[in-house]
Structure 1
């Protein structure tokens, strides 16, 4: 894998390697590009700059015989290689492959393994499948939820079909036969269907009001011949990445050798202005629309507008509309060559479009680059897998911001006004996943907005003018300021820890996909089972997605009760509205009880099944909470352990920094809805024992208190506990009387008392147990005030 900054010339390096392989005598060398536009663009560069003999394959035919005769390499797109009817087999089989833009390959290869059934193109088939799965939702009492998604009346736009329904459709309804009956073995749908036909029963199905998608939960990269054959030489060309997670998901492995030259090429200058549209004004008037922003920017500049969907692009139709697919290349070339102001709208594309230098210097970025498929929409919007998507989105945003900035001498201005994108860009935990320079440029932009009150869109053209016209004041400000900005070392360290866990998990996903493709459900279950409780530290919701897939393996084997227990775990980790079965066997009289509060509900959940399942619960909580008391474990593991402890003792326990779309950086929040009280916890357990709570720590604590007041105003704040070896403050720190310093020993004592209480309950006869459970939940020592008193330690003001 050769990794270079965006715009630093990785494609040139790849082309030299391709020619070198031809010179060595490799019979057939393939060079993959992301799109046909890139094939055309790369071929033009080879012809004009390098003069290498080569051919292209687009539209179903080779441009000449150089590839088939081994006299030159072939430029083509990923789809040509990874579709099920690829021509690159037998005599055309490549012996060497260069994967350009390998950082975006996961999405492209996944598209090749996704069967898409549009309600407009396949109306009768769409209606039939919708009706075939309806009884499965009805059996779980979720048919109204299902109907609301289909009618557009739900806040969620995608629903996951229960795995049991996919098994029934495949075994009882002959899903393959139905798809054949409606002509899906013909036309574009045939390419994906032939990949999936023998594996439909293990693939999730997603349904929205306008389409159905069937795709693997994880790409079967280890069962794709081109990616595993040891006789095929593979070179991956990638932009500089802070994460290898998506690479592992695409190719099923880490690169065996990674070459990452130190270079400032591609590290261009950027002015990034990110302000939510609701805060903008036009000559003092509010209610500004994004189209007005684009009008001012395009009035005196060439403007690239990037959107995540055609629906989002509609708001700019007065300024520009995205060209139809068949005119895309021609329209883009015309925009490149134009010299006057104007706009071009790019939909759902974050890579492969080069508009360097004067070609285009201004961009308006609209929306997060996600939700390009129902699969992504479900994971991101419904399961809310924000943390595991952070690296993916960081990669895409890096590429998106690189469209108009392609070299060390390039410079550009980027504006973001979409609330979701602005929120993402302003969240430190997300910034930690971005390359160093881009991260600093974003922080510089944030500082500019705060320092100079940038909100009047009539001033945007002059702001751009300072950058474009190389105003000395701007150049001095940029040079002097950008180097001194960054997110905290803790944020970067936590991002690195999470990424290490997610990379391990991605490799386990590849193993799961390979085994499930082989029909070995037991081995697949073991592969994910080994990481499911580890990955909860980095992303609890991703762990829930794993639980669904593990449940599916039990469904295949006919063990519906074991499957339901996995689905129950998935619900507790993701969303309780999941349309999945609940466990039914060995349930005790606990199911007759009505919970008085969250602690009572948690006790009923633990004791609802037989003693074996109770012990499983005990072991699970001990396994998840014990890392809090191990100094060698990561900060993320400490935070997740603390969140789990809060959940166990009856709080609505969250990690706001990891689980919300707000700008909160609070580590853990324990909220008691029944008592309307909350406890804030900030972990400093990874700091040195002789460290102190400084003014920065206290300032951050004030921000946490303000955020909770604004977000949970009905709940009384009992206090904010800073946990770590930090019993004293620095002289300049001025904490409030709500701030406390404690250590993990107090939390360990609480955990041990909790486990002792659970084991005492377990030893009781069931009828006595339920009376005692009700009494426990009412006792003073288990109320939020008493718990806070025993954990709070010393008031920070008094240290």
Structure 2
């Protein structure tokens, strides 16, 4: 009689075993590549098993550590224990496909159909993207509908990427030109005019590089009209997916207007609007690079004490080999065009992927790209890279969500700093410029991008970081400490490599080939660099993020005093430890909540916040202007004083200067960066500068005090596309001169300067009699003169004195008088 092997199978055990490692071993049809679980996977499973009943768990594993397998087996364990249905949430449709493939190779039952009986009965894991779970018409239910599909276990993979999408889903965005946009602009026009009339006029003219925050007192006072307008249009495509998520918290939202759209978003995400997620018995957040876990608390509403107790492998050395180089650190004088040509040459031998932050930066690479990748061809492009030599591939803003193992990507280039995604993020980046809050967010996205090229611990890849803004961020004090331990170790070892290199591309090439050819000595050094690296014992949750979440949750149930108290507590806690700008930002948020109970005191708190951070909105009764002194200023002495901190740090100085000068470019959507660079370059040249429009909500974009009671009143039009100076721009410069005359006495002399690509006035425009224009050619010449001056002083920092500085300023025509003569010209009537 033949044996009935089915009676001997362990199928029943496969569906009842709870230990993920044992389930892995029991899988009968898994691919041969899954012979044994990796040590790091077993270590995480063992730790998870002991804490699986905790409602919120964070799992951290290095890129290439096998997170998908870990996640699928944990969810399978949940189903076996009766904690279902179970959902695996990925950031996008492409990664859903990858998870489904992995599950098929393992032999684990999954489905992408929300209505599948196997999912609803807890017999298969549902794999979906975050959009499916979080939207105003979610099939899982919203606040209005209640829970439609109760969930036992939810696993959020690539939590940082999913958070980005979740923030977008909770942001109501309406394009310019529509009824809602026009209605909101009309509703708040008077209050926006009071904040900054010039900026509002530019927004009304369609400027995409300007944004304004509606004052919180105006938003509070006109909440009913806003609600009526949005309710009347709630079925429109722009509103219907976000409206159900935010409508119950509209009073706790912020509204940002720009020339191309208006965005309305809550101060923290009211994630309870997706009750199936908030009421799930188990929530698991998986991440590779989220060194700061605070946003899991502020956005996903996870419990901070559980988030801090993250689950990790024993060691963090399960990471592929990366040589991470910053070419412009090795040679600050290296032109980007030469570096581009070098990278193109290398791509003839190795698949090379370049990640750029925007379509605009894509243009720089367009002439050498073998393939440009966007959402519509992403999956095909990745498969091509995995199966053949493609060459130089450029991807736009794809810092997460793709796997490029082995020869799919041997050289990875990150060109430029990832850009803020939402209008409020742009506002916040400006308010907190240079703070740990902003730099940490930027570092996190940089590290996400750096992880695309290695997907296993036996993989290897060269990572090149380029672009002045990215390089400058990497050199910011404390920035490298914000990377994960393994990446930080690889950065430090790569820096040691860089220190041995001379200038020039040949030196760079020799270092790159050491990694790409996997030289025995390099492999040994690379493994040693991460050999003893471990994860931090506890996750990082910033007290500020906890306070913001507590304040929001209290305000949501109208406990405004408790909301104020939460923020006041953290302000007191960090009064002597945190930058003044951040403390001012927190006080401004406190004023937002106080507005609900005491409008007068809210204005008083806002005034106190402005003493700490001049970039915040102005109070109802305005601001007192603080004059910029130009009487006893000595330019050359100021240069020497400014450069003292860079003695012994020549490269740091040149990297910082290159970053400033690269921001001085005629580009769309970079008005804030351009104006900040104009302020910074003034300090570098020994002048004093301020940004009156930003700091006091009135006046020119930038004001330079250049000595002897002389000033430059500067209007920056870096995003201008017209070939002539418009009447509006000309009037704006004249208006800024009027502002100056009203605030400075007759002993002070000012020259009006406009930075604009062209100097020709349109027929209806009349320029101020003393106006000067810094055109595209003049700006380029000015940049190069400052760069040459910087290189010269960097070579003599240890012995630089005022006499030498003066000679160099005169040689490069950068004294106040020569600067105007050389780098600006008079406007011309068209």
TM-score range normalised by the length of the shorter chain = 0.5 to 0.7
1:460-609 to structure 2, matched below 5 A, reads 463-472=511-520, 474-475=522-523, 478=526, 503-535=542-574, 537-557=577-597, 559-576=598-615, 578-582=617-621
* C-alpha separation in 1, matches of 2:640 and 2:620: 33
Using a 3 Å threshold, how does the CA distance of structure 1 residues 377 and 297 change in structure 2: closer, same or farther?
Answer: farther
Alignment deviations for residues 268-313 of structure 1 (CA, whole Å, 9 cap, x no partner): 211112133995778xxx5626653542342322111112223322
Alpha-carbon separation, structure 1, partners of 2:611 and 2:205: 27
Which residue matches 1:65?
117
The structural deviation recorded for 1:577 is 6.4
Q: Does 1:326 align with 2:376?
A: yes
Q: Give the distance between the partners of 1:191 and 1:145, measured in 2 at CA.
A: 30
What is the rounded CA distance, in whole Å, between the counterparts of 2:80 and 2:336 in structure 1? 62
Q: 1:684-699, aligned counterparts within 5 Å?
A: none
CA distance in 2, matches of 1:265, 1:187: 47
Distance 1:209 1:279 in 2: 40
Structure 1 residue 420: Cα displacement: 1.0
Note the C-alpha offset of 1:227: 5.2
Q: Which residue of 1 aligns with 2:111?
A: 55
**SS of residue paired to 1:25:** coil
d(CA) in 1 for partners of 2:454, 2:82: 37
CA contact 2:207–2:258 (8 Å) conserved in 1: no
Asked if the contact 1:106–1:249 (Cα under 8 Å) also holds between the matched residues in 2, the reply is no
1:159 aligns with 2:184: no
Q: Is the 8 A contact 1:308 1:372 kept in 2?
A: no
Q: Kindly indicate whether the alpha-carbon contact (under 8 Å) linking 1:112 and 1:192 is maintained by their aligned counterparts in 2.
A: yes
1:268 maps to: 320
Q: Matched residues in 1 for 2:167 and 2:476: separation?
A: 29
Structure 2: gaps (5+ residues): 1-57, 142-146, 657-679, 689-830
Q: Which moved more, 1:35-44 or 1:247-256?
A: 247-256
Give me the CA root mean square deviation: 4.2
Partner Cα distance (1:368, 1:703) in 2: 18
CA contact (8 A) 1:281 1:455 kept: no
Counterpart of 1:335 in structure 2 is 385
| Match 2:266 to one of 210, 216, 224 | 216
Q: Shift of the alpha carbon at 1:258? A: 2.7
Q: Matches of 2:587 and 2:244 in 1, distance apart?
A: 28
Q: Partners in 2 of 1:482 and 1:699 — Cα distance?
A: 29
3-state SS in 1 of match to 2:154? strand
2:170 maps to 1:131: no
Structure 2 equivalent of residue 109 of structure 1: 166
* Partner deviation per Cα, 1:193-226 (whole Å, 9 max, x = no partner): 1111232232111122222211112223467534
- CA shift for structure 1 position 595: 7.2
* Offset at residue 45 of structure 1 (A): 0.7
Q: Deviations over 1:644-699 (max 9, x none)?
A: xxxxxxxxxxxxxxxxxxxxxxxxxxx999x97999999xxxxxxxxxxxxx9996
Query: Among residues 356, 360, 366, which one is paired with 2:409 in the alignment?
Result: 360
Deviation at 1:463, TM superposition (A): 4.4
| Secondary structure in structure 2 of the residue aligned to 1:553 | helix
**Which of 317, 330, 339 is equivalent to 2:366?**
317
| 1-structure distance, mates of 2:522, 2:546 | 46
Distance in 1 (CA, whole Å) between partners of 2:219 and 2:627 is 38
CA contact (8 A) 1:179 1:185 kept: no
Question: Any conservation in 2 of the 1:55–1:65 contact (CA below 8 Å)?
Answer: no
> Within the alignment, does 1:437 sit opposite 2:486 as a pair?
yes
**Aligned residue runs from structure 1 range 207-246, under 5 A:** 207-221=257-271, 225-226=275-276, 228-229=278-279, 232-239=281-288, 241-246=290-295
Contact 1:305 1:366 in 2 (8 A): yes
Q: Is the CA contact 2:88–2:154 (under 8 Å) kept in the aligned structure 1?
A: yes
Equivalent residue number for residue 664 of structure 1: none
Paired residues of 2:61 and 2:67 also in contact (CA < 8 A): yes
Residue 428 of structure 1 deviates from its aligned partner by 4.2
- Distance (whole Å) between structure 1 residues aligned to residue 358 and residue 346 of structure 2: 21
Q: Distance in 2 between matches of 1:478 and 1:86?
A: 47
In the TM superposition, what is the alpha-carbon distance from 1:152 to its structure 2 partner?
7.4
The answer on 1:148 being equivalent to 2:202 is yes
2:113 maps to 1:74? no
Counterpart secondary structure, 1:70: coil
Q: Quote the Cα distance in structure 2 between the aligned partners of 1:45 and 1:68.
A: 21
1:561-615, Cα deviation, whole Å (9 max, x unpaired) = 212222223323223463443479xxxxxx8xx97899xxxxxxxxxxxxxxxxx
Shift of 1:85: 1.9
User: Per the alignment, do residues 75 and 702 of structure 1 end up closer, same or farther by CA in structure 2, a change over 3 Å counting?
Assistant: closer
Which digits, 9 at most, give the CA deviation of each residue in 1:128-147, with x for residues without a partner?
Answer: 4333322112234x211322
Please give the secondary structure, in 1, of the residue aligned with 2:287: strand
Q: Displacement of 1:163 after TM fit?
A: 1.1
- Report the TM-score, using the length of structure 2 for normalisation: 0.64
CA 563–37 in structure 1, closer or farther in 2 if over 3 Å, else same = same
Contact 1:300 1:341 in 2 (8 A): no
| CA distance in structure 2 between the partners assigned to 1:162 and 1:221 by the alignment | 25
Instruction: Judge conservation of contact 1:308–1:369 (CA < 8 Å) in 2.
Output: yes
TM-score when normalising by structure 1: 0.66
Alpha-carbon separation, structure 2, partners of 1:516 and 1:185? 28
Cα distance in 2 for partners of 1:317, 1:2 equals: 39
CA contact (8 A) 1:281 1:288 kept: no
The answer (yes or no) to whether the contact 2:316–2:533 under 8 Å persists in 1 is no
Q: CA, structure 1 residues 482+29, in 2 after alignment: closer, same or farther (shift >3 Å)? A: closer
| SS state at 2:64 partner | coil
Question: Aligned with 1:92: secondary structure?
Answer: coil
1:686-733 deviation digits (Å, cap 9, x = unpaired) = xxxxxxxxxx999689999x99999566499xxxxxxxxxxxxxxxxx
**1: CA distance, partners of 2:374 / 2:642:** 52
Counterpart in 1 of 2:83?
26
CA 1:345–1:6 in structure 2 vs 1: closer, same or farther (change >3 Å)?
A: same
Q: Report the CA distance between 1:533 and its aligned residue.
A: 3.7
